Amino acid sequence: MFEYAKSFIGSLWSGKRSLDDEDDNDTPDQKRIRSEDVSRDGEGETLHRIKVSNFNKNEWKKVKKYLLELGCKPMSKAPKWDYGIINASVKAKDEYNKRMEKLHNKKNGRKAQKPGAEDDTRTPAEKLADQVTPLYKLSYEEQLKKKNNKGVSVMAKLKGQLANIPKTDRTERAMKETEWSRTKGRLPCKMYDPVPSPDINGYRTKCEFTIGKDLDGKPTVGFLLGLYKLGITAVLDPKDCLNVPDKAKRVASYMQDYIRDSEYPVYDRVEKDGVWRTLMTKTQRTGEVMVVIQMKTTNLTEEQVDNEKKKLVEFWNGLKDKPEDERLDITTLLFQAWDGHSNGMTDKAPVEVLTGDGIVHEELLGCKFRISSSAFFQINTPAAEVLYTKCAEWCRINKDRKTTLLDLCCGTGTIGITMAKSVDRVIGIEMVPEAIEDAKLNASINNITNVTYYANKVEDRIDVIGDATNEDVVAVLDPPSCDSRQALGNFYTLCKASSKRVQGEAFRPSRAMTIDLFPHTDHCELMVEFVRGEYLKDLEQDEDAKAAEKLIQDKQKEVEEKEANGENENENENESKDDTSDAK
Ligand SMILES: C[S@@+](CC[C@H](N)C(=O)[O-])C[C@H]1O[C@@H](n2cnc3c(N)ncnc32)[C@H](O)[C@@H]1O
């Protein structure tokens, strides 16, 4: 929320929406934060009035402090915290600019390897690689180590926070339930070695390409050379991007040919004008390919739009009849007209199917899945198989007992469906209705009959979770990407003793592991098992865990030695960036 408030104000001042604002990674709450009323009074006092809905009151103090420092008038909030109003003045804009300049200088001073625009000697390809695959210069082993360090850091911080819970939370019960965290050792549980991705290159099954102009002003389909919020608008083709599969590169290249021949201009994000905006590809290992093309249609007549759709269909169908080495077989072609300012595919406008069924299929752990254009599906299939296999292993399903598996944030149902045969029943909850439709069909394609789906937010369907009475109840929560701080906050809440808001016995982490689904990037999955109640006994008797204790002590010693030698990397610095671990 705080980060979003910062980014939101930043995008207002620069008069543009930041690239990240409409990112897939936005939580639904973030997506609901919207500017309601933008007014400019003649005296130049209030420039913007921003209504923030679904306000997270836990972050109120931080946001308020930040806004006051910027010269924004104190924010007013609705009595029930359902929204707040920020009044942002001219003074605030000046303050914002000053702070940004200071921050920019500080960053450039501290990180000599990231030169400023004037002395940046990187080639465009290197800039793009730094942008899209920032770890590409490290060996894969080094990348894994770096990602694992972040996971270790999150887990160590969790232990530290629980060992020192604030005075206000220190009830007798809380102290008892977190007693384990005040034992020796840096880590709260066993931390396994990081698990690599089976594929290191060309693994991204879903790619979203920006359509814009390259450094020579030529219409290009590729990726922005830097962050749009820093004023960068040049696009470079993806031919050197390590994580983009060849097939997606070919689709982008054909689309580039098409727009270079087109009578319509590419969309200009500064002028907010033009036609061609975004290309999305889903290239699955079944060989099926989805292509979604996004255009701004405001300045075109209905007839022009219809003609363009026909031309697109002819163009992509025509590629099927090309000679072998030029042939490209598209399974389904879709179209989105989007006239809003935010960039990238959006769920705010419908997607029209031009050819095919509007879906592609993927195979995963022996099951078949249909994927629609808006549904989430892990973008690295072989690594997702590793993740789901480990996850199923950690669920410790006891075949002699009846188990209900809660697949929370289930997307198209992958986790529940791949595990359905080993449990009594599965309950899947997902907030995107299209994904739930896919999940239901996926269950049926795979002859799974013991699963019930709910198209709701998990937090709104606590009732079905409460009804999940069976001998064993195991929940797998696979939330949208979040940074390590958010994950840590949630872990802390799970492990601290119950409160009015969070009821029931406290959990305790029993093991954790980083699994890499995104080689060459900063991102990584952190899978953590939390247990409570009778399962804590298992944990205490778990020989494996005892053996792990020694490992933890050794690691602790290693870290202390490194710290003593001044070798330890600055973990806080890592975490202040757009990292990182997606917590499971
Ligand atoms: C990382 S994806 C995981 C999907 C699925 N488990 C998989 O591996 O394919 C996270 C999913 O959570 C959904 N989601 C986000 N917030 C949610 C909420 N509050 N309640 C239910 N689903 C949510 C998103 O729509 C997305 O499909």
Order of strands, edge to edge, in the sheet holding 289-295? 235-236, 219-224, 206-213, 276-283, 289-295, 332-337, 352-355
| Beta carbon of 458 within 6 Å of any ligand 1 atom | yes
Peptide bond into 205 cis (omega under 30): no
- At position 72, the amino acid (one-letter code) is C
Contacts 24+ apart (CB under 8 A), 296-301: 296/267, 296/337, 296/338, 296/339, 297/337, 297/339, 298/339, 299/273, 299/275, 300/264, 300/275
The CA 478 to ligand 1 mean position distance, Å, reads 6
**Atom from ligand 1 closest to the CA of residue 458:** 20
| Beta carbon of 376 within 6 Å of any ligand 1 atom | yes
Which of 431, 438, 465, 482 for mutating ligand 1's site (highest number of atoms within 8 Å of CB)?
431
Q: Binding site membership: which residues? A: 378, 430
d(CA 343, CA 505): 44
The CA 430 to ligand 1 mean position distance, Å, reads 6
| Beta carbon of 388 within 6 Å of any ligand 1 atom | no
Taking alpha carbons only, the member of 197, 179, 135 closest to residue 387 is 197
Beta strand spans in 316-450 (E): 332-337, 352-355, 359-364, 367-372, 403-408, 425-430
Please tell me whether residue 40 adopts helix, strand or coil conformation.
Answer: coil
The CA 407 to ligand 1 mean position distance, Å, reads 10
| Beta carbon of 135 within 6 Å of any ligand 1 atom | no
Q: Binding site membership for S-adenosyl-L-methionine: which residues? A: 378, 430
Contacts 24+ apart (CB under 8 A), 563-570: 569/149
What sections of 423-480 are H helices per DSSP? Answer: 433-445, 462-466
Of the CA atoms within 13 Å of residue 563, those in its CB half-sphere come to: 8
As given in the structure block, the two tokens for residue 406 are 């809660």
| Beta carbon of 525 within 6 Å of any ligand 1 atom | no
Asked if the ipTM is above 0.85, the reply is yes
What sections of 319-459 are H helices per DSSP? Answer: 381-394, 414-419, 433-445
| Beta carbon of 198 within 6 Å of any ligand 1 atom | no
Q: Specify the DSSP element, H or E, that contains 451.
A: strand 451-455
**Atom from ligand 1 closest to the CA of residue 376:** 27
| Beta carbon of 429 within 6 Å of any ligand 1 atom | yes
The CA 23 to ligand 1 mean position distance, Å, reads 14
d(CA 581, CA 369): 26
Which of 373, 409, 459 for mutating ligand 1's site (highest number of atoms within 8 Å of CB)?
409
d(CA 430, CA 442): 14
The CA 362 to ligand 1 mean position distance, Å, reads 18
As given in the structure block, the two tokens for residue 12 are 């207002």
Order of strands, edge to edge, in the sheet holding 73-77? 46-53, 83-89, 73-77
As given in the structure block, the two tokens for residue 305 are 């739009």
| Beta carbon of 377 within 6 Å of any ligand 1 atom | yes
**Atom from ligand 1 closest to the CA of residue 388:** 8
Q: What single-letter DSSP state applies at residue 515?
A: E
**Atom from ligand 1 closest to the CA of residue 377:** 9
What sections of 19-123 are H helices per DSSP? Answer: 28-31, 60-69, 90-110
Atom 1 of ligand 1, nearest CA residue: 480
pLDDT of residue 553: 60
Q: Which residues are catalytic?
A: 482, 525
Compute the Cα dihedral for 404, 407, 408, 412 and give only its sign.
Answer: negative
**Atom from ligand 1 closest to the CA of residue 412:** 9
- Domain architecture of the chain: domains with CATH: 2-121 (no CATH), 136-203+380-401+471-584 (no CATH), 206-363 (2.40.50.1070)
Q: Specify the DSSP element, H or E, that contains 126.
A: helix 124-132
Residues 549 and 185: beta-carbon distance below 8 Å: yes
The CA 435 to ligand 1 mean position distance, Å, reads 9
d(CA 406, CA 476): 6
Atom 7 of ligand 1, nearest CA residue: 411
**Atom from ligand 1 closest to the CA of residue 407:** 6
| Beta carbon of 457 within 6 Å of any ligand 1 atom | yes
Atom 4 of ligand 1, nearest CA residue: 411
d(CA 441, CA 426): 15
d(CA 181, CA 164): 9
The CA 365 to ligand 1 mean position distance, Å, reads 20
pLDDT in tens, the chain (584 residues): 555 555 555 544 443 333 233 333 333 333 333 333 333 433 345 566 777 766 666 677 777 777 777 666 666 766 666 677 777 666 666 666 667 666 666 655 544 444 455 667 889 899 999 999 999 999 999 999 999 999 999 999 999 999 998 888 888 888 988 999 998 899 999 999 999 999 999 999 999 999 999 999 999 999 998 777 777 789 999 999 999 999 999 999 999 999 999 999 999 988 889 999 999 999 999 999 999 999 999 999 999 999 999 999 999 999 999 998 999 999 999 999 999 988 899 999 999 999 999 999 999 999 999 999 988 999 999 999 999 999 999 998 988 899 999 999 999 999 999 999 999 999 999 999 989 999 999 999 999 999 999 999 998 987 887 666 667 889 999 988 778 888 899 899 999 877 777 778 899 999 999 999 999 999 999 999 999 887 776 665 555 555 555 555 666 667 667 667 765 443 333 322 233 334 34
Atom 18 of ligand 1, nearest CA residue: 457
d(CA 519, CA 352): 33
The CA 31 to ligand 1 mean position distance, Å, reads 14
As given in the structure block, the two tokens for residue 356 are 């095919």
| Beta carbon of 435 within 6 Å of any ligand 1 atom | yes
| Beta carbon of 478 within 6 Å of any ligand 1 atom | yes
As given in the structure block, the two tokens for residue 497 are 């003793």
